[in-house]
Amino acid sequence: MQITFELNGQRTSVEVEPDRPLLWVLREDLGLTGTKFGCGRALCGACTLHVDGEATRACAFPIKYAEGTAITTIENLESDPLGKAVVDAWIEKDVVQCGWCQPGQCMSAAALLKEVASPDDSAIDAAMSGNLCRCGTYPRIREAIKVAAANVKEEQL
């Protein structure tokens, strides 16, 4: 089946089995391995990306639903100022340990900041509890989200 969508700002067409998850199309067919695999059942958030601006788990998103959508992956997160603020804050705070969960964490954080400019702890809990980190970097993720929010605000002033 032919599926056409916008991927990181580029019109993209793939000829694939309709039920194949978007995650594997990205990783195996399109060479974008920044979106990670952790559970395959929408339980861990490692595969989080944006479909039409919304945080979505690519492992449980059959490619047929991608038709006509705009998809952003970690590879293009920084093209958006908010996304760049997230990546910068992550680097500044040295959030990563093993790093496998972190692209997904950043995608969820960016989606949160789009909704809530200055999220408090409970907003962070609500938005981020679908993203597991086995290395336990939660304190730094929380801090980095706040740093990113503050930096975006400062730039807007």
Residues that bind ligand FES (CB under 6 A): 37-40, 42-47, 57, 59, 96-102, 133-135, 137
H or E element in which residue 136 lies: none
Sign for the pseudo-dihedral over CA of 137, 83, 14, 64: positive
Minimum CB–partner distance for residue 157 and other proteins (Å): 26
Does 149 participate in binding other proteins (rule CB under 8 A)?
A: no
> Among 15, 61, 19, 132, which Cα is nearest to 73's?
61
76 makes contact, choosing from other proteins, ligand FES, none, with CB < 5 to 8 Å by partner type, with none
Kindly tell me which of 118 and 129 has the beta carbon lying closer to other proteins.
129
* Alpha-carbon distance values, 104 to 42, 96, 133 (Å): 12, 12, 10
Cβ atoms 37, 45 nearer than 8 A:
no
- Shorter beta-carbon distance to other proteins: residue 3 or 157: 3
Can you tell me which of 7, 74, 112, 149 binds other proteins, judged by CB under 8 A? 74
Q: Which is nearer to ligand FES, 27 or 152 (CB)?
A: 27
String of DSSP letters for 88-113 = HHHHHTT--SS-TTHHHHHHHHHHHH
Indicate the residue among 38 and 83 with the shorter CB distance to ligand FES.
38
Q: Which stretch binds other proteins (CB under 8 A): 4-12, 69-77, 111-119, 149-157?
A: 69-77
Scan for tokens 């679908």, then name that residue.
130
Which x/- pattern, by CB under 8 A, does the window 116-145 give for other proteins?
--------xxx-xxxxxxxxxxxxxxx---
Tokens 């907003």 — which residue?
Answer: 123
Which entry of ligand FES, other proteins, none binds 57, CB below 5 to 8 A by partner kind? ligand FES
